[in-house]
Amino acid sequence: MFHNVDAPAMRRINKATVLQFIRDHRTTSRIDIAQVTGLNKATVSYIVDELITEQWVQEIGYGSSSGGRKPILLRFNASGAYAIGMDVQVNSIKTMVCNTRNEPVYRSQRSLSGEQRGALQEHLMTAIVEETRAAVAATPSSPHGLVGIGLALPGLVDVQTGSVHYLPGLPVRDWPIRDQLAQAVGIPVFCENDANCGAWGELTRSASHSDHLAFVNAGTGIGVGLIIAGQLYRGRQGLAGEFGHTTIMPLGQACPCGNYGCWEEYASERSLRRYIIEAGGDPSVLNEEQGFVDQMLSEAQADNRAYIRAFNTLGQYLGIGIANITNALNPDRISLGGTLSQAATFILPEIERIMNYRTLTQNRNIPVSIASANSVAIGAAALVIAQTLFDTRPTIP
């Protein structure tokens, strides 16, 4: 499909192209930009002068010349603006402030009390507002200030309306959280599924900007964020990546979604609890106010065989689902995040073993690695920066 692009839109696209090129290179010059982007020298020079005036770009001296005048070197000002990324989970909120190179300058972790976890959405909103205000206060001064906050949420998120249709473990339905938070804190708010944020966060760590990757967010549930050719894939209604609700057991465990035998019923925190009981352990003695996976992992590391067997079983079921993703999408790599990734010592060998005989031969060399613990929060901030500053469109229809 072809679209007409008017002159103002073309200027915005050209400006974003030049700015992103400068950001992605340690140093560059006007002539390098023109040669690589295909823009004419006069257009590049005009845009660069405008970016210098706006304090997005700095001139830092002269480069070497192969003949003729030496080029003036340009450097991106990563501290020109900042964005907040917030990873909201059932048990915790992780908040980061990142510069425009997606580098964190502020971090905060907040555990949610039993009251905040189990009751009304007002408690969760109060915690989010308080964490946002703390992040705003900690943000360094810059020419362009805070461009927005990215809110990474589990469950079904409508990125167009900023509403949450469903949050696992909480009695929340069709919550217009974006508008409520924006009204409370007075800065632009962007809402996104947490697995999508994790996938985008993993992409920012890559030297390639055209990766095919899948980010598996395994915790209280399972979500998958998909990057296809360097772009975030959401699907027709923003629901792509719900591999946690694909069936691996036709007559299996009942899932809250209404289906039976969903992957997340066999490869999530609640299934881990079940495996521990089946192996003879007693997870009821654990302190519910502390990290559930942390405590079970401590038992396994102390050579408690019931917990080790439970983690091994969990790894096997994670491997089945990851093998399905690998065979369906043939990505460059798989990143495993979420609370369960903390148990990599026990689950990763099982994942790799299962994949070795459940994937097509050509897919067996696709690596499965543990994602950064901060990928979701950084990805949430990075998506804000991408959509506001660079005017990239990190989705494909």
pLDDT tens digit sequence for 212-259: 999 999 998 899 999 999 889 988 877 889 999 999 999 999 988 889
Question: Per the structure block, which two tokens stand in for 371?
Answer: 């994602």
**Cα–Cα nearest to 153, from 187, 189, 103:** 189
CATH number for the domain formed by residue range(s) 208-371: 3.30.420.40
SS3 at position 343:
helix
- Is the pLDDT score of 122 beyond 60? yes
Report residue 127's pLDDT band, with 50, 70 and 90 as the boundaries: very high
Give the model's pLDDT for residue 292. 84
Residue 228 to residue 205: CA distance in whole angstroms: 16
Pick among 3.30.750.24, 3.30.420.40, 3.20.19.10, 1.20.20.10: CATH of 80-200+376-396: 3.30.420.40
> How many Å apart are CA 94 and CA 329, to the nearest integer?
30
| Cα distances (Å, whole numbers) of residue 323 to 216, 226, 240 | 12, 15, 18
Please check whether the two domains, 7-76 and 80-200+376-396, share a CATH topology. Answer: no
The pTM for the full model equals 0.90
What is the CA 379 to chain-centroid distance, rounded?
Answer: 4
Report the pLDDT value the prediction gives residue 173, as an integer from 0 to 100.
81
Say which CATH class 7-76 falls into: mainly alpha
- Whether the pLDDT of residue 47 is over 50: the answer is yes
Sorting pLDDT into bands at 50, 70 and 90, what band is 283?
A: confident
For residue 194, give the nearest of 374, 3, 65, 64 by alpha carbon. 374
Q: Where are the domains of the chain?
A: 7-76, 80-200+376-396, 208-371
Q: How, if at all, do strands 104-111 and 395-396 pair?
A: unpaired
What single-letter amino acid sits at 313? Answer: T
Q: Work out whether the CA dihedral 298, 300, 305, 310 comes out positive or negative.
A: positive
Q: Residue 117 has what pLDDT?
A: 47
Q: Is 178 helix (H, G, I), strand (E, B) or coil?
A: helix
State the pLDDT at residue 302. 93
Token couple for 337: 């995040």
Using CB atoms within 10 Å of the CB of residue 122, give its burial: 0 to 12 exposed, 13 to 18 middle, 19+ buried: exposed
**Mean of the pLDDT values across residues 261-288?**
88
